[in-house]
Structure 1
């Protein structure tokens, strides 16, 4: 308690001219630190074209500059070194009470950077918002939003900022870290009188022509996933199964695809399969929910004039 009293007493006894000169020194040194940070970013920009390295270097130099200015403020205005820990304690208590959410967001930022929850360029879903990560700040993550009023995996055009605190409050879905592929599927209803062997051949041949690159890369990526996590070795080959329904035979085609090319790949598969079905008609026929009148009894209509 006596130390705290001495600390505030020393502040009260400071000469106004001394405080003014300290303020001038602080401003000049702050400008110099900011200049060094700007100069470092420019030098890094001239020596490399790696966008990820440039992005991270800008972040690191900016935060380092702010941290140095913060230390400079402490040593300039607190005065004696013996009061440094007291000043830190008082400020920490006030900040902890007033900025709880900000502190949690800052802790989330540290967790994101150190545990690889996600990084810039990843496609994630956090706090029920889906999008591509375009920036990770100290308190907020910025996403280019996907979905909402547009179908599939298209951008909505909105830029959304989400608090980093949500990495502790909920689930984070990452579509690209460790395994940059997702499983997708298409369902094809086929009439019962179709040549099922031919249908099977058409679908598998289409998969061979359009998906083999994904399959080979996915196999290698899955091997790395098995090494890092306690997970079984999954089958990443395209699979084809069928189901008998009341109206048609339903073929279910399941495959792995690049998480950013899910829609365009499905479009290619549908077009190619439909093209082959049309070529092989009437052996292969797609089914639809329509009604056919197979028989109708004779009708005897007697019209009378009233």
Structure 2
């Protein structure tokens, strides 16, 4: 569809160019020869007709080339997220170039157009501070990559998966929110001004070279529980589900740490931390997981842990009381 539309727009642009180049002199000849009959002077029509056709040529050529170039990106740039960013940059470049060219055609003064754009741009800066801040935020996003399409992020109160980064706004498929919880999609789309990336904290759950996060699963047991058995069971379950994958992912994290002055002791296997409460004990299983698999992994681990606990009722007890 895009290919056909691109060729159609280019054909219209070519037809406009041919009209200016070949038919404009013929039009002058016809109108000039019959000026007394038609009552129309060729000089009254020629400038506007010519400039209009040239503008159509420029706009059509820019749009058609952009459409065909965006199709070619699919073959050159395999990564969907990179392709999305390059397409946005191309679109902005073609819009700016076409606007300057059309303004130059109508004024006939290219230098004056550029100078006027500078003055007008200075004035617009004060009137459109928020959109311009968002445009600057988009440039920052393209350059520094705090996030990109496909990442799960949180900005202020908005949390979700990035589906589009436009010139002015970033669009997210919402996760959590006020409709659901536990890192589940809500089905709503949220738009965030790009300017927020310059002033607010951005939490990225899935950066390019390490798209994983540590997550925890809590299980509450009584003080009568055999804590060594409970902790070992939780570690075994998590190791069976995630052990080898977690070790490989942790090695990637350690390589990232080696590039920084930060020194951390990171376990490459699931661990269990203990916290004592008034009438019960909290066992926290800590493991590494992809952010989009957090809830599914937690459910699987919890089901298996509870099943094994129930198989040993004499070793595991659960707290009873209304203060839990």
TM-score, normalized by length of structure 2?
Answer: 0.77
Match of 2:217 in 1: 186
Q: Which moved more, 1:165-174 or 1:21-30?
A: 21-30
Match of 2:197 in 1: 167
Residues 104-146 of structure 1: CA distance to partner in whole angstroms, max 9, x if unpaired? 1110000001001111111111131001000100111111011
- The alpha-carbon distance between structure 1 residues 19 and 48, as it changes in their structure 2 partners (threshold 3 A), is same
Q: How does 1:1-306 map to 2 (within 5 A)?
A: 17-45=46-74, 50-148=79-177, 149-177=179-207, 178-236=209-267, 237-289=269-321
> Secondary structure of the residue that 1:141 maps to in structure 2?
strand
Partners of 1:15 and 1:90 in 2: CA distance: 31
Partners of 1:283 and 1:113 in 2: CA distance: 55
Residues 30-88 of structure 1: CA distance to partner in whole angstroms, max 9, x if unpaired? 11221122222334446776533543453343223212212212321332344244312
Deviation at 1:230, TM superposition (A): 3.7
Contact kept in structure 2, 1:175 and 1:181, CA below 8 Å: yes
Contact kept in structure 2, 1:214 and 1:258, CA below 8 Å: no
Q: How many residues align?
A: 278
Structure 1: gaps of 5 or more residues: 1-13, 292-306
Contact kept in structure 2, 1:106 and 1:139, CA below 8 Å: yes
Deviation at 1:233, TM superposition (A): 2.8
Partners of 2:233 and 2:217 in 1: CA distance: 14
Partners of 1:70 and 1:41 in 2: CA distance: 20
> Secondary structure of the residue that 2:140 maps to in structure 1?
helix
Deviation at 1:158, TM superposition (A): 0.8
Residues 175-220 of structure 1: CA distance to partner in whole angstroms, max 9, x if unpaired? 1114322222223222333333322221121121122144223313
- The alpha-carbon distance between structure 1 residues 104 and 246, as it changes in their structure 2 partners (threshold 3 A), is closer
- The alpha-carbon distance between structure 1 residues 86 and 58, as it changes in their structure 2 partners (threshold 3 A), is closer
Partners of 2:290 and 2:192 in 1: CA distance: 25
- The alpha-carbon distance between structure 1 residues 199 and 79, as it changes in their structure 2 partners (threshold 3 A), is same
Deviation at 1:16, TM superposition (A): 7.0
- The alpha-carbon distance between structure 1 residues 255 and 50, as it changes in their structure 2 partners (threshold 3 A), is closer
Q: Which structure carries more helix by proportion?
A: 2
Structure 2: gaps of 5 or more residues: 1-42
